[in-house]
């Protein structure tokens, strides 16, 4: 039997495992995850008020529960086991590690308190153990840099009333901190024009239905074109309702500097004509993309792992954002995973390696406690049981709490 290890349990990794089950009936697949809980970007990247999108975890969870699939949670590559050790234990190893690092703008003031990347900000409000609360201090004005759906998510979460978060999995402490901000204006700023914006029509239009916020366009005369996005923006520009919070769309502004001394006070932008515009702000969230990080000896170049159709080296492959960069939707990973699975199924040879049994023995010798699929399901059940009446679950936001839920030592 061939043994294949997939590092990462997000959509890219789980879809790959699903395709490999069909294309390689002689293979056993182990999915390795640094946290005790699976599903990566679905759990920690999809907005907490978009539970319909998060419902895909039911499909992914069925994959992890299949007979020829093993789940190794709470296992960090480089800390608990090295990549070269995995390659000696498995016939093929796949990096499905995503792109966890926020891209930086590289402009003055980017390290000021109050400036945060979208990965860290979204990770925080989604309960990721790695991301502490940002320094929110009497935020009246926020700037969201970017013209994609992540920027829309950030603006929406900042703008929504507590009542509008019913049914979500937003943690009470997150909601409390957000509700304490006296926010009045949210500026969504892009360097290109409205016709080039990367929002999807549905995500953008959703802002027009918020209870306490009204979207508008800073310069309605700049709206040109006939795309669906442009039509939604025209509707925003024509809306004269009054609301406690205003979401203002700016186009054609390039970030030049974050301003302030002890904390963020504003953002300076450059226009195409060479003039400058400053927007006062106590919070700035940069939604400009993400980069992969090294996995032991495997190092990304320009944010992705160099590969040829998913193959990095003999027996080493890559899929998802780690392969192509942070683009596409969740279904994009399914399509790409099929192509990578076909390549692995055709190329990976049975070397008689021990696979998961060898990994389990190695981890046991090192005192590393594995969280298997049954243990993850206990965490899942505990989170759902701990939810308040208007929430679908209450996530554990520390590894210690996750392990405590399954009675494992910390």
The pLDDT of residue 106: 97
Task: Check pLDDT > 90 for residue 408.
Answer: no
Task: Give the chain's count of helices (H) and strands (E).
Answer: 15, 17
Q: Do 373 and 336 sit in the same domain of this protein? A: yes
Please indicate, yes or no, whether residues 121 and 233 belong to a single structural domain of this protein.
yes
- 42 lies in some domain: yes
Q: Which pLDDT score is estimated for 222?
A: 86
Note the pLDDT of residue 388. Answer: 80
Identify whether residues 238 and 115 lie together within a single domain. Answer: yes
Between these two residues, 309 and 410, which has the higher pLDDT value?
A: 309
Q: Are residues 55 and 174 in the same domain?
A: no
**What does the pLDDT look like over 243-284, one tens digit per residue?**
999 999 999 999 999 999 999 999 999 998 999 999 999 999
- Where a domain ends, among 229, 264, 286? 286
Q: Whole-angstrom Cα distance, residue 365 to residue 31?
A: 20
Q: Is the domain of 185 the same as that of 273?
A: yes
pLDDT band at 409 (very low <50, low <70, confident <90, very high): low
Q: What is the pLDDT of residue 224?
A: 86
E strand spans, 20-114: 27-32, 69-72, 92-95, 101-102
**pLDDT given for residue 99 in this prediction:** 95
Q: Examine the pLDDT at 66 and tell me if it is beyond 90.
A: yes
Quote the domain boundaries for residue 54: 2-100+290-405
Q: Is residue 3 predicted with pLDDT exceeding 80?
A: yes
Q: Is the model's pLDDT at 181 over the cut of 60?
A: yes
**Distant-in-sequence, close-in-space partners of 138: CB < 8 Å, separation ≥ 6:** 181, 182, 282
Cβ atoms of 305 and 81 closer than 8 Å: no
Q: What is the DSSP letter of 365?
A: H
Q: Tell whether 410 is covered by a domain.
A: no
CB 372 within 8 A of CB 71: yes
Same domain, 196 and 157: yes
What confidence tens digit (pLDDT) does each residue in 377-404 have? 999 999 999 998 788 999 999 999 999 9
Same domain, residue pair 130 and 32: no
Identify whether residues 138 and 117 lie together within a single domain. Answer: yes
pLDDT at residue 410 tops 70: no
Same structural domain, 7 and 77: yes
Bridge-based pairing state of the strands 290-291 and 101-102: antiparallel
pLDDT at 304 over 60: yes
Q: Where are the alpha helices (DSSP H) in 144-298?
A: 149-159, 172-179, 201-206, 228-238
Q: Domain ends where: 230, 252, 286?
A: 286
Tell me what percent of the residues of the chain surpass a pLDDT of 90. 94
User: What mean pLDDT do residues 22-50 have?
Assistant: 96
Mean per-residue pLDDT over the chain, rounded: 95
8 touches 33 (CB < 8 A) = yes
pLDDT digits (tens, 9 = 90+) for 325-355: 998 888 899 999 999 999 999 999 999 999 9
For residues 94-110, average pLDDT:
97
Confidence band for 137, pLDDT divided at 50, 70 and 90: confident
Q: Decide if 286 contacts 116 (C-beta within 8 A).
A: yes
Distance CA 291, CA 205 (A): 29
The H-or-E segment that residue 264 falls in is strand 264-271
Q: Which of 229, 257, 286 is the last residue of a domain?
A: 286
272 and 381 in a single domain? The answer is no
Residue 389 pLDDT: 78
DSSP state of 103: P
State the CATH number of the domain containing residue 38: 3.40.50.720
Predicted local distance difference test score (pLDDT) of residue 153? 97
| 277 and 170 within one domain | yes
As a whole number, mean pLDDT of residues 186-195 equals 95
| CATH number, residue 179 | 3.50.50.60
Identify whether residues 277 and 132 lie together within a single domain.
yes
Structural domain contains residue 130: yes
Secondary structure in 3-state letters for 117-155: EHHHHHHHHCCCCCCCCCCCCCCCEEEEECCCHHHHHHH
Count the domains in the chain: 2
């Amino acid at each position: 039997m061939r043994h294949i290890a997939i590092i990462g349990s997000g959509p890219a990794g789980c879809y790959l495992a699903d395709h490999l089950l069909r294309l390689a009936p002689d293979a056993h697949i182990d999915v390795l995850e640094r946290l005790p809980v699976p599903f990566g970007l679905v759990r920690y990247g999809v907005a907490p008020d978009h539970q319909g999108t998060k419902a895909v975890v039911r499909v992914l969870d069925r994959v992890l529960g299949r007979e020829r699939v093993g789940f190794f949670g709470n296992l960090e590559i480089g800390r608990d086991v090295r990549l070269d050790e995995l390659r000696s234990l498995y016939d093929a190893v796949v990096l499905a590690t995503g792109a966890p690092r926020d891209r930086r703008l590289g402009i003055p003031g980017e390290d000021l308190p109050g400036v945060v990347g979208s990965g860290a900000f979204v990770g925080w409000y989604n309960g990721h153990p790695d991301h502490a609360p940002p320094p929110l201090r009497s935020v009246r004005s926020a700037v969201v840099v970017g013209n994609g759906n992540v920027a829309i998510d950030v603006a929406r979460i900042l703008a929504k009333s507590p009542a509008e978060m019913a049914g979500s999995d937003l943690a009470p402490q997150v909601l409390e901190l957000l509700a304490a901000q006296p926010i009045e204006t949210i500026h969504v700023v892009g360097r290109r024009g409205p016709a080039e914006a990367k929002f999807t029509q549905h995500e953008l239009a959703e802002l027009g239905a918020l209870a306490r916020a009204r979207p508008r366009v800073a310069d309605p005369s700049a709206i040109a074109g006939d795309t669906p996005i442009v039509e939604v923006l025209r509707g925003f520009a024509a809306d004269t309702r009054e609301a406690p919070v205003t979401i203002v769309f700016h186009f054609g502004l390039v970030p030049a500097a974050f301003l302030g001394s002890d904390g963020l006070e504003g953002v300076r932008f450059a226009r195409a004509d060479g003039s400058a515009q400053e927007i006062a702000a106590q919070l700035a969230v940069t939604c400009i993309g993400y980069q992969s990080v090294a996995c032991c000896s495997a190092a990304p170049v320009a944010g992705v792992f160099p590969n040829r159709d998913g193959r990095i080296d003999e027996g080493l492959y890559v899929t998802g954002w780690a392969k192509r960069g942070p683009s596409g939707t969740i279904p994009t990973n399914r399509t790409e995973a099929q192509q990578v699975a076909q390549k692995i199924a055709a190329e990976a040879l049975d070397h008689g390696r021990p696979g998961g049994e060898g990994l389990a023995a190695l981890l046991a010798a090192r005192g590393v406690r594995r969280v298997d699929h049954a243990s993850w399901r206990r965490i899942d059940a505990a989170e759902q049981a701990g939810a308040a009446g208007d929430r679908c679950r209450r996530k554990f936001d520390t590894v210690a709490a996750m392990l405590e839920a399954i009675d494992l030592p910390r």
